[in-house]
Amino acid sequence: MENDGYANVSHNIGQADIGLGWLSGITDWMTTKAMHMHPHMHSHIELIFCLRGTMTYKVDGHGNVTIHEGSGVVMPANTVHVLKDGTDAPCERLGLHISRSMSPKRRYAVFSPADFKSFHATLAKMAARSFRLSAKLQSSVKELVRLIRQDSISSPERGLLRALCCTVLFHVAETLSKPFAAPQPQMMDEAVKFLESHYSQKMTLDALVLHMGYGRTQFFNLFKRHTGLTPNEYLVRFRIRNAKAMLVDTDKPLAAIAKAVGFSSASYFRRVFLKYEGRKPESFRHTGEA
């Protein structure tokens, strides 16, 4: 089953136009509306970079893998995968299709066959695992996208395109070959700070995940390890804490307090408050217990 499933491919450059023996194609994929895709697979590795939006892939044998702007994933060869629940919108991604072996008929050689074999092994080993793009990698990916989206590419620019593709492959392999270090506690402190700074707004936890740049499951696990709570539990408790202070210090109507701390309605606020505090919010009026 060899099927790209790229209904929204806006630019597609084939191997003949690239001239590198290890790269079978490049796809630039954009959509301005939510969409779904059919399950498909490739005989080659696909290196995917998320340029905008959020995408969760369901990958056979690996579960769900989420990538956000500034992150990427190596999609394994001969493995069925599909965008789980489609995409959000707008959404953009870049795909580099990495051949299984370097063609002996390559017109332009930068890496030796041994170099490429080592890179390919690194990519295959880390397949279906999201990773963050380093500053150098992000810069190269953005420049590559800029070139691809031009109306035409001159001969010198094709040379630059090949150089950028080689740079991208090198930096991805370099990133994936390093141990995945556990984030420093200050990274999770930043997540807590983000929640506490935006608690009064209508906010989805996806906004927090995107801000931090981790996969959703990975981030939730790290956050709970750091705080003892899930992000949602932390947010709710922080909202309740601020609501209690307002109940003690002000005469604002319950609906106004609910809105001020980020709840959608007074009835929902009252229900959540009772669940967490075991008392109705009105019972905290001017009690000094906050």
pLDDT tens sequence across 199-216: 998 877 887 887 777 777
For residue 78, which of 64, 56, 59 has the smallest C-alpha distance? 59
> What's residue 133's pLDDT?
84
Hey, what CATH class is 185-284 in?
mainly alpha
Quote the pTM value. 0.63
> What's residue 221's pLDDT?
84
65 - beta bridge partners?
57
> What's residue 1's pLDDT?
27
> What's residue 66's pLDDT?
76
Q: How far apart are CA 148 and CA 26, in angstroms?
A: 9
Q: How far apart are CA 197 and CA 276, in angstroms?
A: 21
Q: 240-273, pLDDT tens digit by residue? A: 999 998 998 888 999 999 999 999 999 999 999 9
pLDDT tens digits in sequence order for the chain, 290 residues long: 233 444 456 678 888 889 998 999 999 988 766 566 788 889 999 999 988 877 778 899 988 887 877 889 999 999 999 887 655 556 789 999 999 998 877 778 889 999 999 999 999 999 988 888 888 898 999 999 999 999 899 999 999 999 999 999 999 999 898 876 555 567 788 888 889 998 998 877 887 887 777 777 878 888 888 888 899 999 999 999 999 989 988 889 999 999 999 999 999 999 999 998 888 998 888 665 65
> What's residue 74's pLDDT?
95
Inter-residue contact 219 to 212 (CB < 8 Å): yes
- Would you say domain 9-177 falls under CATH 2.60.120.10? yes
Q: How far apart are CA 276 and CA 241, in angstroms?
A: 10
* Span(s) in the chain for CATH 1.10.10.60: 185-284
> What's residue 249's pLDDT?
85
Supply 64's token pair. Answer: 């769900």
Residues shown for the chain: 290
Cis peptide leading into residue 90 (ω within 30°): yes
Mean per-residue pLDDT of the chain: 85
* Span(s) in the chain for CATH 2.60.120.10: 9-177
